[in-house]
Amino acid sequence: MAERHCGDKPEKVVMVRYGELFLKSDPVKYHFIGLLLRNIRQALEAVGYTCRFESPRGRIFIFGDRPEEIAGIVSRVFGVVDTSVCTLVAAEPDALRDAGLALAQKNLHAPCRFAVRGKRQSKTGMNSQELGEYVGSAIYDAIPGLTVDLTHPDYELFVEARDCGGLVYDSRVPAPGGLPWGSQGKMLALLSSGIDSPVAAWLAMKRGCEVAYLHMDGGRWAGGDVRETAIENLRRLSLWCPGNPVQMVIANSEPFYDRMQELRIPPRFRCVLCKRFMLRAAGRLCGKEGAQAILTGENLGQVASQTLANLAVIADATTVPVLRPLITYDKAETITLARKIGTFMDKQGDLACRAVPKMPATAATLEAVRESEDKMGINGLLDTVLASVQYVTAENGKVPDKK
Ligand code: ATP
Ligand code: MG
């Protein structure tokens, strides 16, 4: 940032903090910061904002017309820990004091316990604590009814004298953290109309993964709203990687269920067979999609197909690694997260699966399911189902076309 002098008109700037990237070696860190900057720029451009960026050591600064809105948008970018709208002044104690006092007079309402946190990069002049005390006493003198409380303050003001300028702020907008989207390769997520799989996909994105999607459309075996709800999940997930189209393959798996019925495959194996079929389809698509792992919303013990014994039998269907970020989550924890990230839908339509038996096997054996699959000619079925897939693309919360 251009050096600022006392008397310059204060300017607003959005300060972006990133966390874990600090732990990386320098080349990796710079690569990740480059990705983070790209993602931030894309998120802002997706809503029509053009901004100026600066990235001095350990922070990103964004200059633009609507700093509050910018902070809100950037607080949804993976890799960002939090953002603050700061007043930018000269990195001088008096300028910081004046700006700090002005902000406190606006937002601090006595009686109140308050703290001023100072930070100073330069080794000369006041140290960080002295700077905090200097600004704090000016506020204390100017506003009656205040108590200083450095341990449990109701109001915190931050003043930072950095090489690039003086910064004053009193709020931090929390962001998801994680790693920059696109820094960790690609996964193929099995996306359903349920609550779990969108949350699993979001968690993978949060750790930097690009995600492509596969939905198995059960046709008349699936509830009437399943397909559209899965597309709605995709649409909502696309809001988390703005500026990047996300694609979902939709495969018609009706022939699979029909074959199970025709051949009178024991209904208790249906759920395990169904999940194995999904993994087979996903495994085949991974190569085409450039994905290195399959992602599911499976969870230990949530439904009969998700006992540890069954999960082991299911995973045998593919050689591609199967990742299940929600394996240890309670349903309530998943729902809380789904609400927070905006994938939870209050209104649930007809999402029932018509193939679910009354008594699903909780410990299917590999021999039994393989025998059923041989009978069904599972590889031929897979060829049929994958021969005529459809594609749906979502971008920035919109599903422009359905091919
Ligand atoms: P809920 O969120 O209500 O549990 P669910 O879709 O997760 O619904 P499960 O039977 O628990 O239902 O499915 C386990 C996992 O299998 C899902 O998280 C998802 O990854 C995958 N899956 C289930 N149904 C489909 C489908 N029709 N297409 C693609 N993947 C699916
Ligand atoms: Mg589930």
pTM of the model: 0.94
Q: Which ligand is nearest to the CA of 324?
A: 1
Tell the residue nearest (CA) to atom 1 of ligand 1: 194
List, in order, residues 6 or more apart from 9 with CB less than 8 Å away.
none
For ligand 1, whether the C-beta of 177 sits within 6 Å is: no
For ligand 1, whether the C-beta of 289 sits within 6 Å is: no
User: Is the pLDDT score of 286 beyond 90?
Assistant: yes
For ligand 1, whether the C-beta of 142 sits within 6 Å is: no
Q: How many CB atoms lie under 10 A from the CB of residue 366?
A: 14
Quick one: pLDDT at residue 10? 66
Nearest 10 degrees: CA dihedral of 196, 200, 203, 205?
-130
Q: Ligand 1, residues 191, 196, 226: which to mutate, most atoms within 8 A of Cβ?
A: 196
Quick one: pLDDT at residue 9? 57
Quick one: pLDDT at residue 3? 53
| Region of poorest pLDDT, from 19-23, 29-33, 156-160 | 19-23
User: Is the pLDDT score of 290 beyond 90?
Assistant: yes
Q: How far is CA 158 from CA 85, 132, 161, 334, 390, in A?
A: 11, 8, 10, 35, 53
- Contacts of the segment 381-388: beta carbons below 8 A, 24+ positions apart: 381/255, 381/256, 381/259, 381/277, 382/277, 382/280, 382/281, 382/284, 384/255, 385/251, 385/252, 385/253, 385/255, 385/256, 385/281, 386/251, 386/281, 386/284, 386/285, 388/252
Residue with more model confidence, 385 or 122: 385
For ligand 1, whether the C-beta of 215 sits within 6 Å is: yes
Band (pLDDT 50/70/90 cuts) for residue 19 is confident
- Length of the chain as a residue count: 403
Sheet holding 293-295, edge to edge: 322-323, 293-295, 186-190, 210-217, 246-252, 390-394
For ligand 1, whether the C-beta of 298 sits within 6 Å is: yes
The position carrying tokens 């694609």 is: 247
Query: Cα(403)–Cα(399) distance, rounded to whole angstroms?
Result: 11
Residue with more model confidence, 23 or 75: 75
For ligand 1, whether the C-beta of 278 sits within 6 Å is: yes
Domains and CATH numbers, the chain: 11-174 (3.30.2130.30), 186-394 (3.40.50.620)
For 54-82, the pLDDT digits (tens) are 998 889 999 999 999 999 999 999 999 99
Residue 44's identity, in one-letter code, is L
Q: Which ligand is nearest to the CA of 188?
A: 1
Band (pLDDT 50/70/90 cuts) for residue 403 is very low
For ligand 1, whether the C-beta of 270 sits within 6 Å is: no
State the angle between helix axes of 308-315 and 270-289 in degrees (0 to 180), rounded to the nearest 10. 40
Quick one: pLDDT at residue 2? 54
Q: Mean pLDDT throughout 266-288?
A: 97
Q: Mean pLDDT throughout 228-244?
A: 97
Signed CA dihedral, 175, 179, 182, 188: sign only: negative
Residue 390, beta-bridge partner list: 250
User: Is the pLDDT score of 5 beyond 80?
Assistant: no
Three-class SS of residue 372?
helix
Sequential DSSP letters for 27-39: HHHHHHHHHHHHH
For 206-216, the pLDDT digits (tens) are 999 999 999 99
Tell the residue nearest (CA) to atom 6 of ligand 1: 194
Quick one: pLDDT at residue 338? 98
User: pLDDT exceeding 90 applies to what percent of the chain?
Assistant: 90
Structure tokens at 164: 């690039």
Name the pairing type of β-strands 146-148 and 112-120: parallel
215 CA to centre of own chain: 20
Cα–Cα–Cα angle for 23, 180, 156, rounded to 5 degrees = 70
For ligand 1, whether the C-beta of 352 sits within 6 Å is: no
For 129-179, the pLDDT digits (tens) are 999 999 999 999 999 999 999 999 999 999 999 988 999 999 999 999 999
| Region of poorest pLDDT, from 1-5, 85-89, 383-387 | 1-5
Name the pairing type of β-strands 146-148 and 11-18: unpaired
What does DSSP assign to residue 228?
A: H
Going from the Cα of 305 to the center of ligand 2, the distance in angstroms, rounded, reads 10
Cα–Cα–Cα angle for 336, 81, 321, rounded to 5 degrees = 65
For 79-127, the pLDDT digits (tens) are 999 999 999 999 999 999 999 999 999 999 989 999 999 999 877 789 9
Going from the Cα of 139 to the center of ligand 1, the distance in angstroms, rounded, reads 56
Query: Cα(296)–Cα(302) distance, rounded to whole angstroms?
Result: 13
Tell the residue nearest (CA) to atom 22 of ligand 1: 192
For 297-335, the pLDDT digits (tens) are 999 998 887 999 999 999 999 999 999 999 999 999 999
Going from the Cα of 251 to the center of ligand 2, the distance in angstroms, rounded, reads 19
Going from the Cα of 338 to the center of ligand 2, the distance in angstroms, rounded, reads 13
Query: Cα(13)–Cα(399) distance, rounded to whole angstroms?
Result: 34
User: Is the pLDDT score of 402 beyond 60?
Assistant: no
